[in-house]
């Protein structure tokens, strides 16, 4: 694994072309994924190690990405507390026990967790290690705040009004939920590493809804606990935080190896301001979907900006969109690989 472009870039020692992988690279834009999805539900695929392994490998087989990311979901850790999400087509995740109050959810989350609930995740990782050879595998989790948002709202939301209300009305209750999720996340990421992943990424998808002060209190502090605990395993840690260009001074203080940014951030400016960091990003997935010439032009600009960086990983600024044409993905991968 010492010759991995991806791992070398994570540690800022890459002397070759930038590595490339895409968030959600295993997903609905792939016909082979849709074929499998027609036979099994999303949760069946996540919960069945053989299927999760197969789906994880699909984009590697088709495009030859430089890293694989485990096919799973940030919300599986709620199963530790006997809280289950259903994934409804066109609507996203929805808490199965939708009738539960926030207080009842908090009490449930505070129960002693049994991490063996997630053994299917670690079994999938073990299967993948024998199939991936020298290609690195990325494990992941959501940030405690992001997972808590889904628990409190009981589904995805555009306003997160229940979360904002809880922050105002009962911050101590919210902190108890966040701390419980933090402890489970540490164990979950640790178990993924023990099972064989070569790096981990923390998705702080909804941190952008917080003010700077609240971000530090309700998101940063808990991610920091996770990073501190997981660093002892000596694998690269990536933090992805969407729409948080204004919070980068805080993200730097997390002491992760890599920060993954969206298209609202300028990689040129970032590497000048924070030369100690490795960076991941940041092609707009909407550009990749809509226009191959525009996507190629944006890719060229990004790669030209970062051409002298030993710590750059080419990626999207968010997950690949389901209707993205395969030829667009193929062209971008080929361009980066030919640098």
The tens digit of pLDDT for each residue in 178-191 reads: 999 999 999 999 99
Fold of 5-337: TIM Barrel (3.20.20)
Q: In angstroms, rounded to a whole number, what is the distance separating the alpha carbons of residues 280 and 204?
A: 15
Phi, psi of 296 (to 5 degrees): -65, -40
Report whether pLDDT(2) > 60. no
pLDDT of residue 88: 86
Q: Which is it for strands 68-69 and 199-204: parallel, antiparallel or unpaired?
A: unpaired
Q: Residues 6 or more apart from 76 whose CB is under 8 A from it?
A: 46, 118, 121
Q: In angstroms, rounded to a whole number, what is the distance separating the alpha carbons of residues 69 and 199?
A: 9
DSSP 211-273: -HHHHIIIIIHHHHHHHHHHGGG---EEEEETT-GGGHHHHHTT--SEEE--TTS-HHHHHHH
Helices (H), the chain: 5-10, 31-37, 42-47, 49-63, 102-109, 119-132, 144-153, 161-169, 171-195, 212-215, 221-230, 248-252, 267-273, 285-290, 292-305, 326-337
Q: Per-residue confidence at 246, pLDDT binned at 50, 70, 90?
A: confident
Tell the residue number behind the tokens 């990073």, with chain if given.
227
pLDDT of residue 84: 94
Q: What is the pLDDT of residues 267-325, one digit of tens each?
A: 999 999 999 999 999 999 999 999 999 999 999 999 999 999 999 999 999 999 999 99
Look up the pTM and report it: 0.96
Report whether pLDDT(111) > 90. no
pLDDT of residue 40: 97
Report domain extents, the chain. Answer: 5-337
Q: In angstroms, rounded to a whole number, what is the distance separating the alpha carbons of residues 13 and 118?
A: 34
């Amino acid at each position: 694994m010492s010759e991995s472009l991806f791992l070398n870039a994570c540690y800022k020692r890459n002397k070759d072309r930038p590595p490339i992988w895409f968030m959600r690279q295993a997903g609905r834009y792939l016909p082979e994924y849709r074929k499998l999805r027609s036979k099994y539900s999303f949760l069946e695929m996540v919960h069945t190690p053989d299927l999760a392994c197969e789906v994880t490998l699909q984009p590697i087989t088709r495009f030859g990405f430089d890293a694989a990311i485990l096919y799973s979901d940030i919300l599986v850790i709620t199963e530790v507390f006997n809280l289950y999400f259903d994934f409804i087509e066109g609507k996203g995740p929805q808490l199965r026990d939708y009738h539960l109050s926030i207080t009842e959810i908090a009490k449930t989350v505070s129960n002693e967790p049994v991490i063996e609930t997630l053994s299917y995740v670690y079994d999938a990782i073990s299967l993948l290690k024998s199939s991936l050879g020298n290609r690195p595998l990325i494990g992941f989790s959501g940030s405690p705040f992001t997972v808590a948002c889904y628990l409190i709202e009981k589904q995805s939301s555009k306003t997160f009004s229940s979360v904002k209300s809880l922050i105002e009305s009962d911050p101590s209750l919210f902190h108890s939920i966040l701390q419980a999720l933090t402890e489970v996340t540490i164990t979950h990421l640790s178990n993924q590493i023990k099972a064989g992943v070569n790096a981990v990424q923390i998705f702080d998808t909804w941190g952008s809804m917080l003010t700077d002060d609240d971000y530090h209190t309700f998101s940063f502090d808990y991610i920091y606990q996770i990073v501190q605990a997981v660093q002892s395993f000596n694998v690269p840690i990536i933090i992805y935080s969407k729409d948080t260009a204004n919070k980068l001074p805080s993200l730097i203080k997390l002491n992760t190896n890599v920060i993954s940014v969206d298209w609202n951030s300028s990689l040129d400016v970032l590497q000048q301001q924070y030369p100690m960091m490795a960076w991941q990003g940041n092609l707009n997935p909407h550009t990749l979907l809509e226009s191959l010439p525009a996507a190629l032009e944006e890719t060229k600009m990004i790669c030209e900006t970062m051409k002298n960086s030993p710590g750059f990983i080419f990626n999207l600024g968010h997950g690949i969109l389901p209707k993205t044409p395969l030829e667009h993905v193929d062209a971008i991968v080929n361009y980066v690989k030919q640098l």
